[in-house]
Chain A
Amino acid sequence: MKKNYKASRFNALTNTEEDGLILFNSYTGALADFTKEEKEEVMGYLKNQPGLESSPVKEALIDHGFLVKESADEKKRAEFLHQSLHRTDMLHLILMPTEACNFRCTYCYESFVRGKMDENTVSGVKALVRERITTLNTLHISWFGGEPLMELDLMEELTSVFQEEARDHSVSYSADISTNGYFLTTEVFHKLLSMDVRQFMITIDGVEAVHDKRRFLIGGGKTFSEIMENLKAAKESTENFDLSIRVNFDEDNLKETEELTQYLKEQFAGDPRFGILFRPVGRWGGEHDEDIPICSHITANEKMWQFTENAIDEKLHMSSMIGGIMNPAGSVCYAAKPNAFVIGANGQLYKCTTALDADVNHVGTLNADGTMDLDYDKLISWVTSGEETDAACQNCFYRPACQGNHCPWYRALTGDRPCPSEKNNIKKVLKLVWKNSLL
C-alpha cells in the first residue's frame, strides 16, 4: 500500500549562500543541505504536491524525519520524548569538590562561603553511585564549583570509584569540567583525560588586557597568560577532547571581541577540538550585579551570532555545545531533568547551578550512606514547569529540543518563556552550523 507523508511540524529551514536549502528537524536533530537544483523537488515533497514519485531525495527526507507518515501524531511524539527523560538508567551528577575559587571575576554570582567537600558528603557521593550503578546504563559527572581543580586529589579519589563501578557494571561513564583553566597544566590536563574528562569549558573574555580586568585572581593578579599557556600546551596533545572556549560579553568587552577572535585564530584555527562559544553576561545574583554593564536583550542576541560567524569565517570552530543544544532534548536544562542533581560541598542537593541561595532550589540533602532526603514538592516544581502548561511551547517547532525547559528558573522568576537563543535565531544558527560543517 502506498504511504502518504506530510512535512514534520518540527522542521525549520533556511537558504544556503548559494541559494540552496538547509533543512533541520528538532525531533530527530537531523540537518541536511540541498542544492539549488534539488530545492524545488524538496519543497514539492514538503508541500505534498501531487504527482511526485519516490526518489532518493524523498527517501532521505523520510529517513531523517523531515517527512512523517500522514497518520503520525507529532505532539504525542514530543510528549513521549519528554516522558523519556524520566528513564532511570541515566544519572547526571554535578559535583562541587569545592565551592572556593582562586578567581574573583567581576560578574560572578557565586558567594564562596564553603570550601572543600566534607567527608560525609564524599562518602555519600561514593555510596550513592555504588547503590545506583546496578540500574544504570549511563553515568555522567560534571565537575563544577568553585574551581574544581583546587581539589584535584578529591576529584581523583571520586573518579577512581566511578570508573571502577562503571567498569564492573558495564556502565558508560563520561565527565566534563567547567574550570577557569589556571591550574590546567599539561600534567593536570592529561590526568583529567585519564579520568575520562573529555569535555572542557574554559572562559577567555578578551585579549590579555581585557581578560585580566574581568577575570583576575583574589587580590587582582593576572590570569590570561597562564591560561593561554595551558591551552596552547593542550593543543600539542595528540589525544581527542572537546574544549569550549567561552567568551562572556557585556558592553565593557563587546568591542574587543574581534581582536580576541584574531588572537584565537592564530592559536586554534583549524583544530576541531577547540570550539568557541559567545554568551552574554547576565545579572544572576552576584554581589556586583548592579555594576555589570549588561547588553540589551536585542544586542546580546545579535552579537552572540555575529561574533560566532566572524569566528567561523576565520576558520575557528563553533563550540560543539551549539550542536548539542539542537539535539532532541538537548536544550533541556539539567535543572528540569529528573535524574540530574547538583551536589554542594556540604551535601546540599540543588537542581539549578545559579540560584544557589533560593529556598526552592534546596531540594534535599545527601547523607553519608548515599541516601537522599528529598523535598519532592520542590523537586516537582523544577521538573514539571515546562511545556506542560504552556500552549505556545506545545505548538513550537523547537519543542522536542527544549520542551519549554531551557531555563526553569528564568520562567519561575519572570513568568516569561525561556526560549533559547538558538530557537529565536534559528535561520541564522542553521546557516552557522552548516558553515561550521564545511570547515
Chain B
Amino acid sequence: MRIVRPAVSPNKNSGRILKAAPGNLK
C-alpha cells in the first residue's frame, strides 16, 4: 500500500488559470 496523494481537508483550491471549456464556445 502506498498513499500517492494524501487526503486534504475538504475545507482547504485558491485558483489557477486553466481555460477549461470542454468544446466549442459558439
- Judging by beta carbons under 8 Å apart, are B3 and A282 in contact? no
Query: How many positions in chain B have a CB within 8 Å of any CB in the partner chain?
Result: 25
Chain A to chain B contacts (Cβ below 8 Å), 26 pairs: A29-B8, A34-B1, A56-B1, A57-B1, A60-B3, A64-B3, A64-B6, A77-B10, A84-B10, A109-B25, A140-B15, A142-B15, A142-B17, A176-B17, A283-B26, A284-B21, A297-B23, A330-B13, A340-B15, A354-B19, A409-B25, A410-B21, A410-B22, A413-B25, A418-B22, A420-B20
Q: Which residues of B sit under 8 angstroms from A176, Cβ to Cβ? A: 16-17
- Distance (Å) between the CB of A110 and the closest chain B CB? 11
Q: In chain B, what residue has the closest Cβ to A85?
A: B13
**Mask: chain A, 279-322; 1 = CB below 8 Å from B; 0 = not:** 00011110001000010010000000000000000000000010
Q: In chain A, what residue has the closest Cβ to B3?
A: A32
- Judging by beta carbons under 8 Å apart, are A201 and B24 in contact? no
CB proximity to B under 8 Å, residues A40-72: 56-57, 60, 63-65
Extra contacts besides A31-B5, A33-B2, A63-B7 (7): CB < 8 Å: A138-B14, A144-B17, A284-B24, A340-B15, A409-B21, A413-B25, A437-B4
Separation of A257 and B16 alpha carbons in the complex (Å):
25
Q: When the two chains form the complex, which single residue of B2, B10, B15, B20 contacts A27, counting CB atoms closer than 8 Å?
A: B10
Q: Which residues of A sit under 8 angstroms from B15, Cβ to Cβ? A: 92, 140, 142, 334, 337, 340
Q: In chain A, what residue has the closest Cβ to B8?
A: A29
CB contact under 8 A between A354 and B21, given known A33-B1, A324-B16:
yes
A-B pairs, 10 with minimum CB distance: A28-B7, A92-B15, A30-B7, A31-B5, A283-B24, A31-B4, A140-B14, A64-B7, A330-B13, A284-B25
Q: In chain B, what residue has the closest Cβ to A330?
A: B13
A333 at interface, CB cutoff 8 A: yes
- Judging by beta carbons under 8 Å apart, are A282 and B16 in contact? no
Q: Which residues of A sit under 8 angstroms from B14, Cβ to Cβ? A: 90, 92, 138, 140, 174
- Judging by beta carbons under 8 Å apart, are A294 and B16 in contact? no
A133 at interface, CB cutoff 8 A: no
- Judging by beta carbons under 8 Å apart, are A329 and B18 in contact? no
A362 at interface, CB cutoff 8 A: no
CB proximity to B under 8 Å, residues A178-210: 178, 199, 201
Q: In chain A, what residue has the closest Cβ to B14?
A: A140
- Judging by beta carbons under 8 Å apart, are A29 and B4 in contact? no
- Judging by beta carbons under 8 Å apart, are A81 and B17 in contact? no
CB contact under 8 A between A282 and B18, given known A29-B8, A35-B1:
no
Separation of A328 and B20 alpha carbons in the complex (Å):
17
Tell me which of A334, A355, A400 has the highest count of chain B C-beta atoms within 10 A of its own C-beta.
A334
Q: In chain B, what residue has the closest Cβ to A242?
A: B16
Q: In chain B, what residue has the closest Cβ to A418?
A: B22
Separation of A140 and B21 alpha carbons in the complex (Å):
22
Separation of A283 and B19 alpha carbons in the complex (Å):
12
Separation of A433 and B5 alpha carbons in the complex (Å):
10
